[in-house]
Amino acid sequence: MNPAPRTPARPLGRSDGRGRRRLTSVGLVAVLGLTAACSSKDDQPDDTATVAKAAAVKFHGTLVDPPLTPAPVALRDTDGNRVRLDRPRQGAATAVFFGFTNCHDVCPTTMADLAAARRSLPAATAANVDVLFITVDPKRDTPAVLRRWLDQFGPDIVGLRGPVQRVHDAEDSLYSSQSGKTTPTPGDASTAHEHETAEQGHTHPDGDPDGYGVDHSSVVYLFGPDGTTVIYTGAGTPLDYAADLTRLLRR
C-alpha cells in the first residue's frame, strides 16, 4: 500500500559528521519544549505529526502521533538486494539512521550505540530487530566500503544506498532535513581547524582525498511492527534504545 505523499516539513536534526550541531526550535519536539540540532526550513504544515502528550509517553525517546510512514522508495543493500523502506520485515522493530562512512563523530557513535543495544537484548528479541543505515554519500560509500565500515559495529546491520533523490525522498517522508555536501569557506579563519579535520577525519577509507563532509539528520528513528514511531533528536544510550525496542515489540 502506497501512502499519500506528504509535504516536506521542518527538519528535525542535523549533523555534518564533524560533531558540529546547530540548535533551533523544531516542529515535532517543540510540543514538549525540546530542541534538536537542526537547520531551519519552512514552518511545519498543520497536518504533520506531533509528539504525543508527555503524560502518555512511556518511551525514552519521543513518541510521534500519528506514526511516521517512510516513503515507498527502493534502495539497495550491500549485496545488491532491493529494499523498500515502507515494507519492513513482518513482526520486526526497525532502527533507521542517515549518515555516511567518512563521518568521524555522530555516525560511528550512533551506530555503535545501536549495535550495542541490539547485542544487549535476549537472542529471541534481537532476532526481531533490524538496524538500517542509509548512506547520504553514495558517491564514496560504495557497497564494499559501506559493508566494511558497518562490519565494525555488526555484520547484521543493513547498509542501504541509492540515488541522492531517493534518499532525499526518504528524508522528506520522515520530516528530516535533506542531506547535502558541505565544504569549509575558503579564507575563513574560523574554518581552518574544520578544514584540517575534514581532510584528516573525512578522507575515504581507500585514500580518496575529497575531504568533504555531508550535512545530514542526526535523528534516530525506531519503528515498531505496527508502525509506532519513536524518535531521538539527542543522544540516546544503548540502554535507552534497547528498552524502547523491547517496548515496541511488545505493543
The pLDDT of residue 219 is 92
Mean pLDDT of the chain: 75
Percent above pLDDT 70 for the chain: 63
- Return the closest-CA partner of residue 100 out of 57, 138, 74, 73: 138
User: How does pLDDT run across 207-223, given as a tens digit for each residue?
Assistant: 445 667 777 788 999 99
The pLDDT of 9-25, averaged and rounded, is: 39
Whether 193 has a pLDDT exceeding 70, the answer reads: no
- What is the separation of C-alpha 64 from the centre of its chain, rounded to a whole number of angstroms? 16
The pLDDT of 90-113, averaged and rounded, is: 94
The pLDDT of residue 238 is 97
Residue 218 has which C-alpha cell? 542526526
Beta strands of the chain (E only): which ranges? 23-25, 35-37, 50-51, 62-65, 74-77, 82-84, 93-99, 129-135, 158-161, 180-182, 213-215, 220-223, 229-232
Backbone angles phi, psi at 225, to 5 degrees: -60, -30
The pLDDT of 232-244, averaged and rounded, is: 93
185 vs 175, more confident: 175
User: How does pLDDT run across 60-89, given as a tens digit for each residue?
Assistant: 999 999 999 999 999 999 999 999 999 999
Q: What is the DSSP letter of 175?
A: T
User: How does pLDDT run across 115-168, given as a tens digit for each residue?
Assistant: 999 999 999 999 999 999 999 999 999 999 999 999 999 999 999 999 999 999
Tell me the whole-structure pTM to 2 decimals.
0.72
Residue 38 has which C-alpha cell? 537542526
Out of 2-11, 71-80, 106-115, pick the least confident.
2-11
The pLDDT of residue 43 is 35
Written as one letter, the residue type at 65 is D
The pLDDT of residue 188 is 39
Architecture of domain 23-184+210-250: 3-Layer(aba) Sandwich (3.40)
